Structure 1
Amino acid sequence: MTDGARLVRFLRDLGVRRGGVLLAHASLSGAGLAPAVVRDALLRALGPQGTLVTPAFTPENSDTSERDRALTAHLTERQKALYRAAMPAFDPNVTPCPAVGALADCVRATPRAVRSGHPQTSFAAIGPRARELLAGHDPHCHLGERSPLARLYAVNAQILLFRVGFEACSAFHLAEYRMTPLPPTRTYRCVAGSGEWISYEDIVLDDSDFAAIGALLPPALLTEGEFAGKAATLVEMRDTVDAAQRQMSGYRWRTAQNGPPGREPGRAQCWFRPQDAVG
């Protein structure tokens, strides 16, 4: 049996729905599998009526990200201006997405793939529902109600974490937009497809506690297996996002009010750290 056939069997045994919609996150390091082999196995497991979706995030075209601050901290103002002037504009047809892994970039580069239009937090998809799910990604909404994540939630997509943990689960960001109270906002800047800089307000995104949130999900929500020495987890998006929302609406608010140990209780604290993949 080939590696691809073995992976197809594994995915079907794990519970990937034939004809369904699957949001996949993967780390292929050490797996001995080419990205195209994994992509094709996912598509075979889904069948011809299924749709595969991956994040296709691009932090490289922003000057408000942690990545940019780290790269430019030692530069003079003139050098910073030259560096930012050379930043590539986002082109959904060609801009790579190495920050989210080899599988995602392979899906993005597949000739029949569709990509959403957000210049920083786009998604790529292959399948009959790709255009429906990715159309109309509001450039002022990273990962909220006007993004593909809301559509994936509406159709109750499955989420596959293949050899990665919940720290990589982009769907948790949708829960951030739905938590009570709402997170604070900040200004983002990036080079859009026109080559012009755009600025917009959106919530401050934080993935620093995603692994902890995943660890506290009810076990009944998870289907788990192992492939090439690392775990694979399959969940239903609606139940998982709803559970994450309940967690965030509880302890994140308490943390903001009370602060971590050693801080004066009752003082408002910003408990968010902007994630590297969004700026």
Structure 2
Amino acid sequence: MDQPLPHTARSLAADLHALGVTAGDVVLLHSSMRSIGFVAGGPQTVVQALLDVLGPEGTLVVPTHTPANTDPAGWRHPPVPEAWWPVIREQAPGFDPLRTPSQWMGVIAETVRRWPGARRSDHPHVSFAALGRHAADIVDGHRLDDALGERSPLGAVYRLDGKVLLLGCEHGSNTSLHLAEWRQASPPRAITGASVRQPDGASQWITWIDVVPDTDDFERLGTDFEATGAAMSGKVGCATARLMSQRALVDFATDWMAAHRPSAKQRPDLSASTGAPCSTPSSS
């Protein structure tokens, strides 16, 4: 049996075209490099293929979240001793969009973050990086107290009628579903915090109030959305890929959450401190 050839920028670009990615698109990417298979040139090739397809008028967006930069009081997998909490808050290096690497977002997202010309939002929990025509429009003005809401990069992608590309990922990683959470009538809110680098280089622990994210039903929600036929699926390399309109997804999810989430989750609770926005940090 003949050994399959490595995936290349050209072959991946052809797969992306076949899936429905077109020049000028705004694409919010969630990805698993491992799922794609062997790529000549690795993650750099994947990013180049995406940029080649999107062209100079397109924009590529990725999550560059830093979930370990959250209040250690909320860490659960694993928890850390209470005696450590003040040390972590006081001594952790402050988030800096230029210096701080993303965590657990995957090597493709980190490659985009470090790509020449990339811009990154300055939210210390849930930043996004972008390359292309609308990069500044998407990442600028990311508010602490609207982390994944209308004034976040997710809201900007919605206004630009962008697309979501799940490349080897499931809907549990689909951050656009959080925009639907922020749109609920009275989502639960809580105090949260992070270490942020100051202009003089010092770190400062800051706190604010925002919506408490909940991904527990994202897979079920995503399955119901796909059942409407609104997502295109295919192969990019060896990975199963799904491409969908972010507006269609968020509009569906907003109604779905209003119908399926218990009313108890709509009662605000300002007494608790949240953990990580999209995943729980470990101590490693």
TM-score range, shorter chain: 0.7 to 0.9
Kept in 2: contact 1:190–1:198 (CA 8 A):
yes
Structure 2 distance, partners of 1:32, 1:65, is: 40
Kept in 1: contact 2:71–2:275 (CA 8 A):
no
Kept in 2: contact 1:59–1:276 (CA 8 A):
yes
Structure 2 vs 1, CA of residues 115 and 275 (structure 1 numbering), >3 Å: closer, same or farther?
closer
Q: 1:126 aligns with which of 116, 131, 135?
A: 131
Q: 2:261 is paired with a residue of what secondary structure?
A: helix
Show the counterpart of 1:219.
Answer: 228
Structure 2 vs 1, CA of residues 274 and 190 (structure 1 numbering), >3 Å: closer, same or farther?
closer
Q: 1:238 is paired with a residue of what secondary structure?
A: helix
TM-score in terms of structure 2 length = 0.85
Structure 2 vs 1, CA of residues 274 and 89 (structure 1 numbering), >3 Å: closer, same or farther?
closer
Q: 2:38 aligns with which of 12, 32, 37?
A: 32
- State the Cα distance separating 1:182 from its structure 2 match: 2.0
Aligned amino acid, residue 38 of structure 2: G
Q: 2:15 is paired with a residue of what secondary structure?
A: helix
Q: 1:192 aligns with which of 190, 196, 205?
A: 196
Listed as ranges, the gaps of 5+ residues in structure 1 are 258-267
Structure 1 distance, partners of 2:16, 2:121, is: 26
Aligned amino acid, residue 196 of structure 2: A
Q: 1:60 is paired with a residue of what secondary structure?
A: coil
- State the Cα distance separating 1:165 from its structure 2 match: 1.2
Q: 1:110 is paired with a residue of what secondary structure?
A: coil
Aligned amino acid, residue 224 of structure 1: S
Show the counterpart of 1:139.
Answer: 144
Kept in 2: contact 1:120–1:278 (CA 8 A):
no
- State the Cα distance separating 1:273 from its structure 2 match: 8.9
Structure 2 vs 1, CA of residues 70 and 137 (structure 1 numbering), >3 Å: closer, same or farther?
same
Structure 2 distance, partners of 1:197, 1:72, is: 19
Q: 1:192 is paired with a residue of what secondary structure?
A: strand
TM-score in terms of structure 1 length = 0.87
Kept in 1: contact 2:89–2:194 (CA 8 A):
no
1:75-123 CA-to-partner distances (Å, cap 9, x unmatched) read: 361x443343331210101210132111111111112100011111110
Kept in 2: contact 1:206–1:273 (CA 8 A):
no
Number of positions where the alignment pairs a residue of Structure 1 with one of Structure 2: 264
- State the Cα distance separating 1:127 from its structure 2 match: 0.5
Show the counterpart of 1:60.
Answer: 68
Q: 1:206 aligns with which of 205, 214, 219?
A: 214
Kept in 2: contact 1:57–1:278 (CA 8 A):
no
- State the Cα distance separating 1:238 from its structure 2 match: 0.5
Query: For the aligned residues, what is the CA RMSD?
Result: 2.4
Instruction: State percent identity of aligned pairs.
Output: 33
Residue 105 of structure 1 pairs with residue 110 of structure 2: yes
Aligned amino acid, residue 232 of structure 2: T
Q: 2:169 aligns with which of 137, 145, 164?
A: 164
Structure 2 distance, partners of 1:193, 1:182, is: 32
Aligned amino acid, residue 187 of structure 1: I
- State the Cα distance separating 1:69 from its structure 2 match: 4.4
Q: 1:233 is paired with a residue of what secondary structure?
A: strand
Q: 1:140 is paired with a residue of what secondary structure?
A: helix
Show the counterpart of 2:279.
Answer: 277
Structure 2 distance, partners of 1:182, 1:156, is: 25
1:208-262 CA-to-partner distances (Å, cap 9, x unmatched) read: 11111010014321100023443100000101100011100001035759xxxxx
Structure 2 vs 1, CA of residues 32 and 202 (structure 1 numbering), >3 Å: closer, same or farther?
same
Show the counterpart of 2:16.
Answer: 11
Q: 2:190 is paired with a residue of what secondary structure?
A: strand
Residue 239 of structure 1 pairs with residue 248 of structure 2: yes
Listed as ranges, the gaps of 5+ residues in structure 2 are none
